[in-house]
Chains A and B, each alone.
Chain A
């Protein structure tokens, strides 16, 4: 099924949705620079995010029942032309990215104004839009090389966004530099892997790659390609022990950037891993199964424990969340390593649930930065009473992070443990819950600091402005909503998992 016959006559705007998804923010990005107005940068960004979200929703509704949309860029038919291929898996990810952007941007307006020098605002929003479109592009494209291109677009703009934190703390520069080096190594590995695949098969279109690899079976070139891609994308998704760039990057980036990246960037990378592991290579390959079970699974478990353990001993809320992110990525990788429908469902649903949870928490961090200057535990001590709404949202987000029933995090944990039992790996099930007990400790440290410690005497903190509170609470309520109503998330994740594993759709 390399190509589908597409009638090129009388295409409506509706048919162009897949490309518009990327083009809208992509064109808006230089626009903010050309206009150069600080006042207009934010409205342009927000408007293009809203448009993207609407498009993402329309696309998701088209594919949620298991259909696939194939869009040919410029009318060039694949495998020669670039194909955008929308199915339940990537429509879901694109929707997550767009939704997070729409929620985070209103929050960013105040937060960025406080944390980023005024003269850089137009450039900041331009970089933000590039990153945004890059992340969606990675998800939506059906062409392996195009994945690399979009990955670079998003990565390069991410370096800039992280460095923008230098206005507040100069260490943002070294954090960005670290990430630049590691990210570039990752990208290089990734493109070398794709080179191997091209060498072995002569094609770059993913669907085509999948067919040819299945037809010719594995060989050293393909295996080497898989290894390079795994390591390359592993760096991007902060796969333990390739995670070293992440804590500093999230800690020193402006809060709005941390919120956006934590909720989207690593999630998109997880999606790429899913796409390559299941669509391109197909789990039928022995080398892949072996890699996942003997390399990815143990490392995922180590990530869950080691990073949670480090998170327990942090004294900075923001940094603690960064380490918690690495641990949570471990859960997603674990779900993938199960290689079963339930496991992959767990990975995808956790990708979403963790995205909204971390968005809520990192935005709360931004509110504390704005009001208390920093997020070290002695800075935010006793703020539970001075900033009751922000702190209540932190409690909700924290409960979701732990996986308390009634929150989104519980749903992912449930499905993940269920997958472990289905597979008969009950020790893994015990490890999953044991590591969430570490989450109890690091979350509750913050709760105690917020509510049970006396505030600093010189603290003048007051409740965050409404423009911050509303996005924080939208995300916090989403944590509860998606813990109760799982039709959309779990439904989409199941369809996506079935699609990725080539099972009959439900």
Chain B
């Protein structure tokens, strides 16, 4: 298959799956089977792009010109391709998990759920392959709107309220700040194409660079940079598959991915380093990292704790970009993959516990480890990867970020990353420890793992965390082009 055809197919197939879900809303098995086929086909398309292009950057394929200078255009480049591989690959796993979760948990309105889910994936693919900021923004908004029904899925007052916060912050930041930044960039440079080395150098100077960066950094609300992080905990009212794939992978990674894209292809790492415009962002990211970890410590609800952990981990990637050095950008890029694999494991474990026992609070989970060993061991592996211990994937990205910080002489940032690791240990490991070493109230034998479709996917992604450790070198080599400086 041609690269461009494969790129288009990777967006059209999930979009068709969305339509298919609505058409086949009465036939559960056929519908879920069809979506699984679509997920595999999407992944295959993305892999075709990988096989064809490797880590090369293809020429933009212009589908349509909306206004002079504003094209709907797509291309393949390493960062986007990696994001596409993660999102589409994990879609297969999450879909299987989703089937088990939705049925095991007797959730309603499966068709709407999976339709919106598929559309969200189509939007994520659009973000991954966008060749310019305009196209990216279009799909960024599509992703927000298509995930809204998923957050509001339960239709309880609590879900409606959470969804309202979700939409208000994401749309508010994207239209209120990001759109301004995009139009400003367009007014300054006359183009929005993602270009190696950036497009802004020479068009803007002085404090304006920092202001423009601020509009982007806060405007990309999906990156959950404090103080615009509230939507992520609010989104936790959604069913767990949504939290797992969308709010640990597709949506939040779309945010930090956009952040990296802006840093690398709009501003350019060199330009950021020269002007020092991203210095403040680095400090804010460091603040987000530590602060969100501390908040996570205080949360007894497992999903809320994981949400704050995500807020903290996303800022690693923002930090990587803000360091304005190639090692930082590389570390940030790699952390997208590593964190995705670790966090989706943790969320799926949380969902697995919920399906089996309907427990949501960590304090209630004492002794569950012995009843649900697979889930808790998977959780342990995911947690260790987030903490950044070898032999798990998360250790490499943290390593690169520390190298990046050392590169630029920001020793404080190394301290921040260290403290963050300690905090990660403090809020993640007690869950496992309580599960295995404390005795539960009542009879633990009344609990057992839920069906295989619920516990197997997290086990698989936990294994993925180990695999990533050994392939980290390949990922680094794959992403190398984005970190090339002139």
A contact set with B: CB distance below 8 Å? 399, 402-406, 411, 413-415, 417-418, 421-422, 426, 429-430, 433-434, 436-437, 440-441, 444, 448, 451-452, 484-486, 490
Bound-state CA distance A413–B67 (Å) is 13
Q: Are B168's CB and A421's CB within 8 A?
A: no
B137's partner among A402, A405, A452, A490 (CB-CB below 8 A) is A405
Contacts of A437 in B (CB 8 A): 171-172, 175-176
B183's partner among A406, A418, A448 (CB-CB below 8 A) is A418
Stretch at the interface among B138-146, B283-291, B392-400, B403-411: B138-146
B86 at interface, CB cutoff 8 A: no
Q: For chain B, what secondary structure do more than half of its interface residues adopt (helix, strand, loop), or is it mixed?
A: helix
Render B176-190 as a binary contact track against A, CB cut-off 8 A, 1 for contact: 110110011011100
Contacts of B477 in A (CB 8 A): none
Q: Are A399's CB and B187's CB within 8 A?
A: no
Q: How far is the CB of A104 from chain B (nearest CB, A)?
A: 28
- The 14 listed contacts between A and B (C-beta, < 8 Å) are A403-B175, A405-B138, A406-B141, A421-B183, A426-B180, A433-B176, A434-B176, A436-B176, A437-B171, A437-B175, A440-B167, A440-B171, A444-B167, A452-B160
B201-233 interface (Cβ within 8 A of A): none
Knowing A405-B137, A414-B67, the reply to whether A422 touches B187 (Cβ < 8 A) is yes
Q: Are A486's CB and B67's CB within 8 A?
A: yes
Contacts of A452 in B (CB 8 A): 152, 155, 160, 163
Q: How far is the CB of B191 from chain A (nearest CB, A)?
A: 13
A429's partner among B67, B152, B183 (CB-CB below 8 A) is B183
Q: Are B141's CB and A429's CB within 8 A?
A: no
Q: How far is the CB of A331 from chain B (nearest CB, A)?
A: 14
Q: Are B187's CB and A421's CB within 8 A?
A: yes
Bound-state CA distance A441–B163 (Å) is 13
Contacts of B66 in A (CB 8 A): 411, 484-486
Contacts of B134 in A (CB 8 A): 405
Bound-state CA distance A486–B163 (Å) is 33
Render B48-65 as a binary contact track against A, CB cut-off 8 A, 1 for contact: 000000000000000010
B187's partner among A406, A418, A430, A451 (CB-CB below 8 A) is A418
Contacts of A440 in B (CB 8 A): 167-168, 171-172, 175
CB-CB nearest in chain B for A422: B187
Contacts of A421 in B (CB 8 A): 183-184, 187-188
Contacts of A402 in B (CB 8 A): 171, 175
Contacts of B180 in A (CB 8 A): 417, 426, 429-430, 433
Bound-state CA distance A398–B269 (Å) is 39
Contacts of B152 in A (CB 8 A): 452
- Give the top 7 A-B pairs by smallest Cβ distance, nearest first: A421-B187, A405-B138, A417-B183, A452-B160, A433-B176, A405-B141, A440-B171
B164 at interface, CB cutoff 8 A: yes
Bound-state CA distance A414–B182 (Å) is 10
Contacts of A441 in B (CB 8 A): 168
Q: Are B184's CB and A484's CB within 8 A?
A: no
Contacts of B177 in A (CB 8 A): 433
Q: How far is the CB of A124 from chain B (nearest CB, A)?
A: 39
Contacts of A426 in B (CB 8 A): 180, 184
Q: How far is the CB of A407 from chain B (nearest CB, A)?
A: 10
Bound-state CA distance A422–B184 (Å) is 9
Contacts of A436 in B (CB 8 A): 175-176
Q: Are A484's CB and B64's CB within 8 A?
A: yes
Q: Are A406's CB and B142's CB within 8 A?
A: yes
Bound-state CA distance A457–B426 (Å) is 51
Bound-state CA distance A406–B141 (Å) is 9
CB-CB nearest in chain A for B211: A426
Bound-state CA distance A485–B175 (Å) is 21
Most buried by B among A404, A413, A426: A404
Bound-state CA distance A411–B70 (Å) is 11
Knowing A433-B176, A490-B67, the reply to whether A406 touches B138 (Cβ < 8 A) is yes
Q: How far is the CB of A445 from chain B (nearest CB, A)?
A: 10
Given A437-B172, A452-B155, A484-B72, 20 more A-B residue pairs with CB atoms under 8 Å apart are A402-B171, A404-B145, A405-B134, A406-B142, A411-B66, A411-B67, A414-B183, A417-B180, A421-B187, A429-B180, A429-B184, A433-B175, A433-B176, A436-B175, A437-B175, A440-B172, A440-B175, A441-B168, A448-B160, A484-B66
Contacts of A404 in B (CB 8 A): 141, 145, 171, 175
Q: How far is the CB of B180 from chain A (nearest CB, A)?
A: 5
Contacts of B172 in A (CB 8 A): 437, 440
Contacts of B163 in A (CB 8 A): 452
Contacts of A490 in B (CB 8 A): 67
Render B159-171 as a binary contact track against A, CB cut-off 8 A, 1 for contact: 0100110011001
Bound-state CA distance A413–B176 (Å) is 12
Contacts of A414 in B (CB 8 A): 67, 183
Bound-state CA distance A89–B483 (Å) is 50
Q: How far is the CB of B203 from chain A (nearest CB, A)?
A: 12
Q: How far is the CB of A402 from chain B (nearest CB, A)?
A: 7
CB-CB nearest in chain B for A429: B180
Knowing A433-B179, A484-B66, A490-B67, the reply to whether A418 touches B186 (Cβ < 8 A) is yes
B126-157 interface (Cβ within 8 A of A): 134, 137-138, 141-142, 145, 149, 152, 155
Q: How far is the CB of A386 from chain B (nearest CB, A)?
A: 15
CB-CB nearest in chain A for B219: A433
Contacts of A434 in B (CB 8 A): 176
Contacts of A415 in B (CB 8 A): 67
Bound-state CA distance A415–B186 (Å) is 11
Bound-state CA distance A430–B218 (Å) is 14
Contacts of B171 in A (CB 8 A): 402, 404, 437, 440
Bound-state CA distance A414–B152 (Å) is 30
Bound-state CA distance A1–B149 (Å) is 60
Most buried by A among B134, B160, B176: B176
Bound-state CA distance A490–B68 (Å) is 10
Q: Are A448's CB and B164's CB within 8 A?
A: yes
CB-CB nearest in chain A for B160: A452
CB-CB nearest in chain A for B67: A486
Q: How far is the CB of B361 from chain A (nearest CB, A)?
A: 27
Contacts of A411 in B (CB 8 A): 66-67
Contacts of B168 in A (CB 8 A): 440-441
Q: Are B164's CB and A444's CB within 8 A?
A: yes
Contacts of B141 in A (CB 8 A): 404-406
